[in-house]
Every structure is written in structure tokens, then in C-alpha cells.
């Protein structure tokens, strides 16, 4: 049994938040250093590897935000390999811009994406259609697919009354 208290939990959360800010700043400094070397030398061969390492090996970060930060500074992604960079357009490296907008400000994640009932229903109709196709192709799956035909038809009629067509 743990002896964790509310006060201890609050202290741990405070420490984690403080540490995350420190980590974020260190990643920013490393990213800026990479860009400065590329801008100064005009050679990205070694630094594209370092940028890839920073994206792939730094734990606890949103890698897609860091990738976008580098892309905005001329990095060319290898689409076949996540986080890998295949080249760098040195002319796009702008240190003032890189310092003005921090890496973590890119690709912000918003967990609430809104809701669209029609889109959700269409997705369900597509799912039902796909399930029915699978059952038709493999009748053994019928025992794990449950589609109330009356309910399905009722939903289709409801959509039709509102000028919408089910998928």
C-alpha cells in the first residue's frame, strides 16, 4: 500500500511541470544550434542526422511538432521513414524566425475535434456496409456481426426525410 498524500502528489506534479519546461527549453536550444550550424556552414549532412536523432530519441515530446519546426526551416522529410530528414534547403533557414516561434508551438494537439452528427452517421453506415460485405464473403462471421435491419432502415428513412442520403 502506498503512503502517497495529496500534498506529495501536488509536489510531484509541480516538479514534472517544471522539468517539462526545462526539457522543452533544452530541445529548443539544441534545435537552434542545429539550425545555426547549417546556416553558418551551409552544410546539412551531419546536422540532418542530429535533427533526426533529436526527433526520434528525445522521449516525452511531440515529435510531429519538432519535425514541423525543422520543415519550416528547410528540412526535407523522408516520407518513407518517420522523423528522418533527407536534405535541407539552407536558404530557408531563418534563425530569427526559428527563435520567434518555438518548436512546441507547431502541430498543437486539440483533443476536442467538434462533432458532426451527419458525418458520424455516415461513418456508421460505412462500417455497417463493410461488416455486411465481410459476412457475405465469409458467412462464418455472421455470429459476430449484429445489425438490426429495422433500426438501420429507420435511420436511412430518417436521413432521407432530412434530405440526406445514407452511405
CB 76 within 8 A of CB 69: no
Average pLDDT over residues 126-131: 86
pLDDT more than 90, % of the chain: 21
In the predicted structure, residue 28 carries a pLDDT above the cut 60:
yes
In the predicted structure, residue 5 carries a pLDDT above the cut 60:
yes
Ramachandran sector of residue 78 (left: φ over 0; alpha: ψ -120 to 50; beta: rest): beta
User: Residue ranges of the domains in the chain?
Assistant: 6-105, 117-161
Q: What is the pLDDT of residues 92-116, one digit of tens each?
A: 999 999 999 999 898 877 767 788 8
- Per-residue confidence at 82, pLDDT binned at 50, 70, 90? low
Amino acid at each position: 500500500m502506498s503512503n502517497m498524500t495529496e500534498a506529495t502528489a501536488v509536489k510531484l506534479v509541480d516538479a514534472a511541470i517544471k522539468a517539462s519546461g526545462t526539457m522543452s527549453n533544452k530541445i529548443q536550444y539544441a534545435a537552434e544550434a542545429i539550425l545555426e550550424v547549417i546556416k553558418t556552414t551551409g552544410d546539412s549532412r551531419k546536422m540532418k542526422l542530429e535533427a533526426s536523432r533529436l526527433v526520434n530519441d528525445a522521449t516525452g515530446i511531440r515529435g510531429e511538432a519538432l519535425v514541423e519546426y525543422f520543415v519550416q526551416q528547410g528540412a526535407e522529410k523522408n516520407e518513407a521513414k518517420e522523423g528522418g530528414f533527407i536534405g535541407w534547403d539552407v536558404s530557408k533557414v531563418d534563425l530569427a524566425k526559428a527563435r520567434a516561434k518555438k518548436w512546441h508551438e507547431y502541430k498543437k494537439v486539440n483533443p476536442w475535434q467538434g462533432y458532426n452528427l451527419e458525418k458520424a452517421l455516415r461513418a456508421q453506415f460505412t462500417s455497417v456496409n463493410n461488416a455486411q460485405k465481410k459476412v457475405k464473403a465469409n458467412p462464418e462471421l455472421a455470429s459476430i456481426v449484429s445489425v438490426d435491419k429495422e433500426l438501420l432502415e429507420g435511420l436511412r428513412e430518417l436521413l432521407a426525410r432530412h434530405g440526406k442520403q445514407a452511405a
